[in-house]
Chain A
């Protein structure tokens, strides 16, 4: 399959400040790429560069095989949905959606036909004669999507389109966007700072920080095999437990030792991982630590830990303990009897354990 978008060695500066440093990203036709990272990481700038709204200082952007150097935004065969929706306030919904076609000189009959089709698809037919000011947030969002859909572009760009919506609507619209992607088979690039949006929507995630790509991969790769400490900490909620540990090699394998305040260190055995340096940071997701007896498997080991806090989250209960000087969150089942102050057997499942170099932050296994 052909690449629909290729970004090669892209560099973007504002004055002497490097905003994007040597970015390389590509997506295939039909992929849903999510750019995720904390605010100020350059993800929105990258999107604007792809759209041609920001000039780039070096590198290449290729959309559907065409080099975009010197190509203006309107000729890139893209459509974009903005965070503030950017609907034209003085135009009706219908005119908002058809404005682009009008500018390009599409004949009136085609405009009306396309408008009707998109309005039906997004169920905004009753709104066509209203102005943006008379719409709710969710309705504006739909109109903004309609304006993008009506172009039938090679590539859709979304710039944090859900961040102005309340939590419930955000989930609804997220599902709707996912459905649109499936129905249309369109290629999309989506910017968000919300890692749950990234996980649920993407077929491919790019995690960014300080203008650099940290990791590119499928949601499952990003989640299960984070490339460095930043990705491990950023993706997932509650965050991955990152515990400073010491490794001791002996005959049968590696012994992992995690210090505890005023107690014997916690010792886990890992016979499966490759050679590790003496000092590591061990990463375990909350769901990989369970109440003893509720998890089985070859790599499950139990140890007694003291419960500090119990957080009810409905479907699960999060139990906070302390290991290696850090808070450790474990995901217990909802009906657990764990109480603060109690000492309890915890089950540590090392099947998906990650190890990181404490100095470089890079993944070791």
Chain B
């Protein structure tokens, strides 16, 4: 302590100036990166608020001269996806019907799996955990054909429950990993104490583990929601007209143009499709960071 102060009193001014300079440099750098990442969003947003006329004549980065929400209205309920012209609205609804149960179920099963693997070890539990981890690294493409067969046999082909099933199965590896890694930090003695208190498997899970799990639940929900909402490959492979998720609809809107390409509608549709994931991040983002870095649970 004394060393530092004596050094400071030697050249206090130079020190302070250098600190301020460094700070500003850092801020400038961060600002630059932020700008770089925000630029596409800016272009999307401004383009979606312009009329087609203005897009044709004006510059890409210019602000709209006249703000119009026509493109948004059309994207929501009037744009054509192939021969159907109902906008993204029905597909947006499909995505919600798909993502909410799929996120809920995969998180719930992941929590129970993680709880078992962390605290109710059985012969071969490590092997099973390794296999589940392996599941995280299997590329989507590999499972397409076998999954199509399975869905066919189950009679779920082309339905939303079928898609939910696919996402739950595919998500289990990750959700199990998240919860297992979180639950191993909870002392084993807690389970022992609860056992002596007379609590059983589900009672301990429900009364002791779940209340501790908010940070990891948030992480898992954000992760799973982003994955499932943004998924295109499973959506396009295992759905049929009427059950397609919003990502597939977006693709169809952008690709099925008649005559002039309506950039403003495409942009509006893209923003609408991305809105829910952005919303989830904004609402739960701070828990996400906290959950990812959460260490042991002090008892």
Binding site for B on A (CB under 8 A): 48, 51, 53, 72-74, 78-80, 82-91, 99-100, 103-104, 132-133, 147
Q: Which of the residues B195, B212, B298 comes within 8 Å of A73, measured between beta carbons?
A: B195
Contact A84 B299 (CB under 8 A): yes
- The 8 A-B residue pairs whose C-beta atoms are closest, nearest first, are A100-B197, A74-B198, A90-B211, A86-B193, A86-B189, A103-B198, A82-B189, A73-B196
Tell me, in angstroms, the Cα distance from A83 to B299 when the chains sit together: 12
Contact A104 B198 (CB under 8 A): yes
Count of A-B residue pairs with CB < 8 Å = 67
Give per-residue flags for B175-203: 1 if the beta carbon is below 8 A from chain A beta carbons, else 0: 00000000000010110111111110001
Tell me, in angstroms, the Cα distance from A73 to B207 when the chains sit together: 18
Given A103-B203, A133-B298, does the pair A90, B195 have CB atoms closer than 8 Å? no
* Closest beta carbon of chain A to B218's beta carbon, Å: 16
B169 within 8 A of partner (CB): no
Tell me, in angstroms, the Cα distance from A48 to B195 when the chains sit together: 12
Tell me, in angstroms, the Cα distance from A86 to B208 when the chains sit together: 11
Tell me, in angstroms, the Cα distance from A131 to B299 when the chains sit together: 10
Contact A84 B189 (CB under 8 A): yes
13 contacts between A and B (CB under 8 A): A74-B195, A80-B192, A82-B192, A84-B187, A86-B190, A86-B193, A86-B299, A87-B299, A89-B298, A90-B211, A90-B212, A103-B199, A147-B197
Contact A80 B299 (CB under 8 A): no
B297 within 8 A of partner (CB): yes
A88, A91, A133 — which one has the most chain B CB atoms within 10 A of its CB? Answer: A88
* Closest beta carbon of chain A to B88's beta carbon, Å: 41
Tell me, in angstroms, the Cα distance from A85 to B168 when the chains sit together: 37
B187, B195, B197 — which one has the most chain A CB atoms within 10 A of its CB? Answer: B197
Contact B187 A86 (CB under 8 A): yes
Q: Which of the residues B194, B197, B212 comes within 8 Å of A89, measured between beta carbons?
A: B212
Contacts A74-B199, A88-B207 given; 17 further ones with Cβ under 8 A? A48-B192, A73-B196, A74-B196, A79-B196, A80-B192, A82-B193, A84-B189, A86-B189, A86-B190, A86-B193, A88-B193, A89-B297, A91-B207, A99-B197, A100-B198, A103-B197, A104-B198
Contacts of A99 in B (CB 8 A): 194, 197, 199, 207
B192, B193, B298 — which one has the most chain A CB atoms within 10 A of its CB? Answer: B193
Q: Which of the residues B192, B194, B195, B196 comes within 8 Å of A88, measured between beta carbons?
A: B194
Give per-residue flags for B2-25: 1 if the beta carbon is below 8 A from chain A beta carbons, else 0: 000000000000000000000000
* Closest beta carbon of chain A to B189's beta carbon, Å: 4
Tell me, in angstroms, the Cα distance from A350 to B248 when the chains sit together: 94
Contacts of B203 in A (CB 8 A): 103
Contact B299 A132 (CB under 8 A): yes
* Closest beta carbon of chain A to B137's beta carbon, Å: 31
Chain B count of residues within 8 A CB distance of the other chain: 19
* Closest beta carbon of chain B to A347's beta carbon, Å: 50
* Closest beta carbon of chain A to B240's beta carbon, Å: 45
B192, B195, B211, B212 — which one has the most chain A CB atoms within 10 A of its CB? Answer: B192
Contacts of B194 in A (CB 8 A): 88, 99
Contact B189 A88 (CB under 8 A): no
Tell me, in angstroms, the Cα distance from A88 to B298 when the chains sit together: 10
The residues in B between 216 and 259 inclusive whose CB is less than 8 angstroms from any CB of A are none
Contacts of B190 in A (CB 8 A): 86, 88
Contacts of A73 in B (CB 8 A): 192, 195-196
User: In the complex, which residue of chain A has the Cβ closest to the Cβ of B186?
Assistant: A89
Tell me, in angstroms, the Cα distance from A88 to B297 when the chains sit together: 11
A85, A86, A133 — which one has the most chain B CB atoms within 10 A of its CB? Answer: A86
Contacts of A89 in B (CB 8 A): 212, 297-299
User: In the complex, which residue of chain B has the Cβ closest to the Cβ of A72?
Assistant: B195
Q: Which of the residues A51, A83, A87, A90 comes within 8 Å of B196, measured between beta carbons?
A: A51
Contact A74 B197 (CB under 8 A): yes
User: In the complex, which residue of chain A has the Cβ closest to the Cβ of B192?
Assistant: A53
Tell me, in angstroms, the Cα distance from A79 to B193 when the chains sit together: 9
Contact B196 A78 (CB under 8 A): yes
Given A99-B207, A103-B197, A103-B199, does the pair A86, B192 have CB atoms closer than 8 Å? yes
User: In the complex, which residue of chain B has the Cβ closest to the Cβ of A83?
Assistant: B189
Contacts of B212 in A (CB 8 A): 89-90
Contacts of B199 in A (CB 8 A): 74, 99, 103
Tell me, in angstroms, the Cα distance from A88 to B208 when the chains sit together: 6
Contact B208 A90 (CB under 8 A): yes
Tell me, in angstroms, the Cα distance from A318 to B26 when the chains sit together: 62
Tell me, in angstroms, the Cα distance from A82 to B198 when the chains sit together: 16
Tell me, in angstroms, the Cα distance from A361 to B193 when the chains sit together: 40
Tell me, in angstroms, the Cα distance from A89 to B208 when the chains sit together: 8
Tell me, in angstroms, the Cα distance from A80 to B199 when the chains sit together: 14
User: In the complex, which residue of chain A has the Cβ closest to the Cβ of B214?
Assistant: A90
* Closest beta carbon of chain B to A361's beta carbon, Å: 35
User: In the complex, which residue of chain B has the Cβ closest to the Cβ of A157?
Assistant: B196
* Closest beta carbon of chain B to A14's beta carbon, Å: 13
User: In the complex, which residue of chain B has the Cβ closest to the Cβ of A79?
Assistant: B196
User: In the complex, which residue of chain B has the Cβ closest to the Cβ of A105?
Assistant: B198
Contacts of A53 in B (CB 8 A): 192, 195-196
Contacts of B299 in A (CB 8 A): 84-89, 132
Tell me, in angstroms, the Cα distance from A99 to B197 when the chains sit together: 7
Tell me, in angstroms, the Cα distance from A89 to B298 when the chains sit together: 8
Contact B198 A80 (CB under 8 A): no
